[in-house]
């Protein structure tokens, strides 16, 4: 399952030319699925912390780059609606000021230079993953934890229906 999710994410990176935003969205979805997948075996997966950190960090790389793109597009749209011709230097300064340190950069650059190598390395490591048990004993406790979290998040979303609580649910 992990190898499939990684392959789909890598395919999205490979087909990203001119469609970086869609590729980012697809890769982030696959990274979330991978993190959920490796969370299921929990303590029965010795490499969990390392793999979880690796997938999390790839997602963060994408989030920062995506944030820079969104800020630039928002700046352009706002300036356009206001009829202001802003200098490229001002645009770059606004984007850089609004993005987390070190997170700015073109989406395609982040995809090719950080995400693709990270996914390739994850695929290689996944071939060697091992677990301390098998069957339902491997995923049952993680499935129960996930179900309990889902129930709590559902209650929270019913009590305070906001975009955040619905997203968490």
130-163 tens-digit pLDDT: 999 999 999 999 999 999 999 999 999 999 999 8
For residue 117, is pLDDT > 70? yes
Q: Which pTM does this prediction carry?
A: 0.73
Phi, psi of 103 (to 5 degrees): -95, -15
Q: Decide if pLDDT at 81 tops 90.
A: no
Query: 28-37, 74-83, 85-94: which has the highest mean pLDDT?
Result: 28-37
Q: Look over the chain and give the mean of its residue pLDDT values, rounded to a whole number.
A: 86
Contact 6, 31 (CB under 8 A): no
Distance CA(41)–CA(138), nearest Å, equals 5
Answer yes or no: is pLDDT of 104 > 50. no
| Ranges of H-type helices in the chain | 2-14, 20-39, 48-82, 88-98, 107-110, 116-126, 136-159, 163-168
pLDDT value of position 99: 53
Helix (H/G/I), strand (E/B), else coil: 102 = coil
pLDDT value of position 94: 72
Q: What is the pLDDT of residues 31-40, one digit of tens each?
A: 999 999 999 9
Tokens standing for residue 80: 């356009």
Close Cβ partners of 2 (under 8 Å, ≥ 6 residues apart): 34, 37, 38, 122, 126, 129
In which residue are the tokens 């997938």 written? Answer: 55
pLDDT at position 152 is: 95
CB-hemisphere CA count at 13 Å for 79? 14
CA dist., res. 112 & res. 142, Å (int): 33
Q: What is the predicted pLDDT for the residue at 66?
A: 66
């Amino acid at each position: 399952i992990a190898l499939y999710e990684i392959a789909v994410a890598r395919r999205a990176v490979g087909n990203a030319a001119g469609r970086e935003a869609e590729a980012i969205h697809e890769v982030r979805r696959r990274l979330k699925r991978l993190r959920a997948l490796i969370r299921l075996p929990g303590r029965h997966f010795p490499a969990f912390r390392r793999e979880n950190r690796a997938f999390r960090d790839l997602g963060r790389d994408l989030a920062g780059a995506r944030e820079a793109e969104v800020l630039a597009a928002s700046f352009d749209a706002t300036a356009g609606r206001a009829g202001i011709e802003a200098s490229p230097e001002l645009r770059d300064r606004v984007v850089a000021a609004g993005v987390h340190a070190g997170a700015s950069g073109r989406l395609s650059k982040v995809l090719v230079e950080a995400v693709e190598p990270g996914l390739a390395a994850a695929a290689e490591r996944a071939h060697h993953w091992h677990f301390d048990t098998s069957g339902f004993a491997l995923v049952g406790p993680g499935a129960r934890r996930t179900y309990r979290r889902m129930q709590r998040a559902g209650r929270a979303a019913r009590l305070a229906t906001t975009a955040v609580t619905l997203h968490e649910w």
